[in-house]
Amino acid sequence: MSKSYDAAVIGGGPGGYVAAIRLSQLGKKTVIIEKEEFGGTCTNWGCIPTKAMLTAAHLYREINEKASKFGIKVDNLTYELSGIMKHVKKSVTLSRKGIEYLLNKNNVDIIKGEGRLKDRETVTVNGEEIKARNIVLANGSKAIVFPPFDEIPGIWTSDDVFKMQQLPESILIVGGGVIGVEFATFFSTFGVDVHLVEIAEHILPYEDSDVADEIKKELKKMKVNIYENAKIDEIKKEDEVYITKIRDVTLKTEKVLLAVGRRPNITEDIKNLGIKIEKGVVTDSHLRTSIENIFAVGDVRGQTMLAHVAMYDGIVAAHNIAGEEKEADYNAVPSIIFSNPEISSVGLKEKDADKEKVNIWKFPLSANGRARTMEEKTGFAKVIEDKQTKQVLGVTLISPSATDLIMEGVIAVKYKMTSHQIAESIHPHPTLTETLLGAFEGPLSIHI
């Protein structure tokens, strides 16, 4: 006899486990089905391991570049990759255990296995049938691999980096977006000869050009060779070396990392059930698919493929399954990049703004007192406001801890606050938040 639930969640990533927990909190009998490890891409092959690696790289660079300036004597600074990877593994394991603890604490049934849709109210897993009045698809995504890279042995995706046992002497990173820039930051910090190629006009193509320029300068300081508005004309492997032609340049590297993003994991059962698919699984603002009792959250939707968006999706879907009318609002989604320095942004970008209708205020990090005590000069805060209403439309920040500082901008954009309202709030001194204050103050800003 098959088990029956109010809701079955397929996939234990950020969208899936958050949806399952919230459903149970709302009184719904819930089961979550995961074929591998809980946490999905974010915990196992993305956010968590990458940030663990970058934390090690950031500390190494801080000591290497700043210790003597601060009167700290460090001789013969070195690193051990096995120690870094041990830290990565520990971070991932603790995150997984934390997720499983929360699922158990909230009385969510857990099934390990590959869940497949049989019909609109039945999921098969491990040869058994699970009946559910509602189903949440949280199938996630997978790394994009395409010709000729899928035909050449040994090409890395981001998943493979976390398995490495020694650093390569040289690496070509294909894709200058978030993933590519973060890995270029890591590898270059430890002296790897890094080549970064981006087909768009500049690296970080979804950010403003002034943001890309700042990060480009920092990467070049770390001796990263950057090729923009460029594509790979030819790539082949000879005697354990990859030979790549870019324009009139021929590169020889030990490794090639394909970092051009991810695509929704659309399985055959989803297609066979007739669920509407375009770029990903299509949903309405309530996260319902074309089949009313089936919902989709996170990367499988093929929209903004970020862990925090997946979590938000999971909450929205859960409340709608519980009988509430909750619509998703994506007007204030923060974007974060763990480069060095970090980048964060929310809302309208300068490149997309009508310059006749907005004011754009920038405040340099170099004018911030706290930044000076940290020997930090690269970066700025930028605020875009409506000329008439003074409402904050967008915020961009390049700074140490920018990924944490952006929440002030998220709140301003989400709740349609004015620059004046933010500027009137007393900011602690001396802190990096005053960089944002300077931008919110616009022409009235005071350099500290």
Residue 180 domain-assigned? yes
Catalytic residues: 429
Tokens standing for residue 291: 């089949």
The tally of CA atoms less than 13 A away on the side-chain side of residue 413 is 22
Residue 120 domain-assigned? yes
252, 270: one domain:
no
Query: Per DSSP, which regions of 68-177 are E strands?
Result: 109-112, 116-119, 122-125, 128-137, 141-143, 170-174
Cα–Cα distance measured from residue 257 to residue 53, given in angstroms and rounded to the nearest whole number: 16
**212 in helix, strand or coil?**
helix
Residue 188 domain-assigned? yes
The tally of CA atoms less than 13 A away on the side-chain side of residue 225 is 16
Question: What DSSP line would sit under 156-197, residue for residue?
Answer: B-HHHHTT-SS--SEEEEE--SHHHHHHHHHHHHTT-EEEEE
Query: In this predicted model, what pLDDT tens digit does every residue of 323-380 receive, in sequence order?
Result: 999 999 999 999 999 999 999 999 999 999 999 999 999 999 999 999 999 999 999 9
Last residue of a domain, one of 210, 234, 260: 260
Residue 328 domain-assigned? no
Tokens standing for residue 381: 């805060």
pLDDT for 433 beyond 80:
yes
> Residue 420's domain spans which residues?
335-444
Query: In this predicted model, what pLDDT tens digit does every residue of 156-205 receive, in sequence order?
Result: 988 889 989 999 999 999 999 999 999 999 999 999 999 999 999 999 99
Residue 432 domain-assigned? yes
Mean pLDDT of 312-322: 98
Query: What angle is formed at CA 340 by the lines to CA 335 and CA 341, rounded to 5 degrees?
Result: 70
168, 295: one domain:
no
15, 110: one domain:
yes
50, 90: one domain:
yes
Give φ, ψ of 94 to 5 degrees. Answer: -65, -35
Tokens 């394909």, located at residue: 258
Residues 6+ apart with CB under 8 A from 341: 214, 218, 365, 376, 378, 379, 398, 399, 400, 402
Query: In this predicted model, what pLDDT tens digit does every residue of 102-113 receive, in sequence order?
Result: 999 999 999 999
341, 353: one domain:
yes
Mean pLDDT of 199-220: 96
pLDDT for 67 beyond 70:
yes
The tally of CA atoms less than 13 A away on the side-chain side of residue 323 is 4
Of 363, 371, 365, which Cα lies nearest the Cα of 430? 371
pLDDT for 448 beyond 60:
no
135, 9: one domain:
yes
Mean pLDDT of 200-218: 96
Last residue of a domain, one of 211, 227, 260: 260
Q: Cβ–Cβ contacts within 10 Å for residue 231, how many?
A: 11
82, 218: one domain:
no
Band (447; pLDDT cuts 50, 70, 90):
low
431, 366: one domain:
yes
240, 278: one domain:
no
Query: In this predicted model, what pLDDT tens digit does every residue of 223-233 receive, in sequence order?
Result: 999 999 999 99
Residues of the chain with pLDDT > 70, as a percent, come to 99
Query: In this predicted model, what pLDDT tens digit does every residue of 285-309 receive, in sequence order?
Result: 999 999 999 999 999 999 999 999 9
Supply the CATH number for residue 389's domain.
3.30.390.30
Residue 330 domain-assigned? no
* DSSP at 384: E
Cα–Cα distance measured from residue 347 to residue 392, given in angstroms and rounded to the nearest whole number: 9
Mean pLDDT of 375-393: 97
Last residue of a domain, one of 208, 233, 260: 260
Sheet strand arrangement including 232-238: 232-238, 241-246, 249-253
Helix axes 14-25, 307-321, angle to 10 degrees: 30
Residue 329 domain-assigned? no
Supply the CATH number for residue 96's domain.
3.50.50.60
Residue 81 domain-assigned? yes
List residues bridging with 237 in a β-sheet: 242
Band (206; pLDDT cuts 50, 70, 90):
very high
Band (45; pLDDT cuts 50, 70, 90):
confident
pLDDT for the residue numbered 159? 83
245, 275: one domain:
no
Query: In this predicted model, what pLDDT tens digit does every residue of 71-96 receive, in sequence order?
Result: 999 999 999 999 999 999 999 999 99
28, 96: one domain:
yes
Which one-letter amino acid corresponds to residue 321? I
Query: How many domains, in total, are found in the chain?
Result: 3
Pairing of strands 122-125, 128-137: antiparallel
* CA 108 to mean position of chain CA atoms: 27
Rg (CA), the chain: 23
Mean pLDDT of 138-150: 90
Residues 6+ apart with CB under 8 A from 344: 334, 335, 336, 337, 396, 397, 402, 403, 405, 406, 409
165, 200: one domain:
yes
Cα–Cα distance measured from residue 129 to residue 135, given in angstroms and rounded to the nearest whole number: 13
pLDDT for the residue numbered 324? 95
Q: Cβ–Cβ contacts within 10 Å for residue 404, how many?
A: 15
